[in-house]
Amino acid sequence: MTVKIAIISDTHFGVSRGTEREEDCWENAREAFEKAKDCDLIILPGDLFDGRIPRPEDWAKSMEILSGVNVPVVAIHGNHERRGKEMINPVEGLERAKFLKYIHCNSVTLDVKGVKISIYGIGWVPESYAKEVLRHCNPKPIDGSYNILVMHQSISPYVFNPLDPPSIRLEDLPPGFDLYVNGHIHWPVKTEVHGKPFLIPGSTVTTQVNKSESKNPKGFYIVEIGEKVDIKFVKLENARKVYYQEFEISEKDKLSEVMEKIENYLNGINDEKKPLVRVILKGKVKSGMDIDRSKIKKKYRDRLILSIGLKVIEGEVQKKIKLLRDLKEKKVSIDEMGMNILRENMKELDIPPLYENIFDFLVDGNIDSAITYLLSNSENASLRSTGIKKWL
């Protein structure tokens, strides 16, 4: 007798709403659940939803997908679903409606086709608390069961955001489990810990267009347990393709040459489903060179979902002149204004100058990471006094 377990992670229901790729999360999830149809158990390691308070449209579509599943579903919450202890997070909401079994710092044991399977789950906690929470919950395998540990953290060396460093390493995971599963990381990983498989399926949908998204397929894992354990990665065929390209520019380059380089690259991309393309321009630009990003974007908008990032360094003097000119013309970006306000406020709070990192988190809408980063980098004891209990 073999038992097939599907592990589908980070479906991010509701992500990119209001954009031309708002259907992606649904299309990809439907493909994944369809391809998991012959499985006997489904594990969802967090970030099922993109937001902690899903819209009715997201509830409806997610319940539609889950109502088509006729096998047990076990889930934990991710950082995107985390709500206060006294509140109900959306994954718990689905449990109340009996769509799944939600676990956090506890386990569930199921009889699947006569095979006892025990799943211990720990939902996301701020990275700086993960080690303490793991020690406190102290997950232990159950005798006579096939034991699975499920988490949603950065686990070194697998780090989602280098600015939000993990407190646990792979070797810190408790031994004795037959399978280790993690969400959070959006690219697939298959390795071993304590001689047993450690799997991260990655997200089913692209949430941020970056290099790793362009290099890794979207999909999920199916683990088949029988005489031996068989693990296969199931690719999502309909997922939107991602392209990422950096261009190095030098002060010698003419604008026409830079433009030609970019357009040659973009003309070479041809996909039926509009791909996500991110172009980064790096290096030094000649003063006064004005790369018209919106013009390029417009030109390709029927074929590509394009974004162009500038990571160019202009000479210090040029930068200052530009800032002054922009100030005069009131063109100072929202980013700069926001950064200045944050810098002033943090000075008052006597917090070390970490505002640039925190600002990046805030711009990304990653408020959890901003708070965690602030807490873990702060000497201020009262800020940390909330303590680990808050996360259990």
Binding site for Mn ion (CB under 5 A): 10, 47
Where would I find the beta strands (DSSP E) of 209-324? 219-225, 229-235, 242-249, 276-284, 305-313
The residue (of 4 and 186) whose beta carbon lies closer to Mn ion is: 186
Q: How far is the CB of 221 from Mn ion (least distance, A)?
A: 16
Distance in Å, CB of 103 to Mn ion, minimum: 18
User: Among residues 10 and 253, whose Cβ is nearest to Mn ion?
Assistant: 10
In whole angstroms, the minimum distance from the beta carbon of 9 to Mn ion comes to 8
* Closer CB to Mn ion, 118 or 206, in the complex: 206
Give the residue carrying structure tokens 């029988």. 226
Residue closer to Mn ion (CB basis): 118 or 182? 182
Compute the distance between CA of residue 146 and CA of residue 116 in angstroms, rounded to an integer. Answer: 6
Nearest residue (beta carbon) to Mn ion: 47
Task: Report the alpha-carbon distance of residue 338 to residue 354 in Å, rounded.
Answer: 14
> How large is the C-alpha radius of gyration of the chain?
23
Q: Which of 93, 16, 79 is nearest to 47 (CA)?
A: 79
Contact 11, 29 (CB under 8 A): yes
Question: CA neighbours within 13 Å on the CB side: how many for 309?
Answer: 12
Q: Residues of 121-155 as b/e, b for ≥16 C-beta within 10 angstroms?
A: bbbbbbbbbbbbbbeebebebbeebbbbbbbbbbb
Minimum CB distance to Mn ion smaller for 147 or for 366: 366
Task: Name the residue nearer to Mn ion (CB basis): 15 or 36.
Answer: 15
CB of 15 to Mn ion, least distance (A): 9
Smallest gap from Cβ 267 to Mn ion, in A, equals: 33
For the bound state, the minimum distance from the C-beta of residue 184 to Mn ion, rounded and expressed in Å, comes to 6
Q: Smaller CB distance to Mn ion: residue 10 or 31?
A: 10
The partner residues of 196 in beta bridges, in order of sequence, read: 193
- 59's CB contacts (< 8 A; 6+ apart) are 90, 93
The least CB distance from residue 325 to Mn ion, in Å, is 40
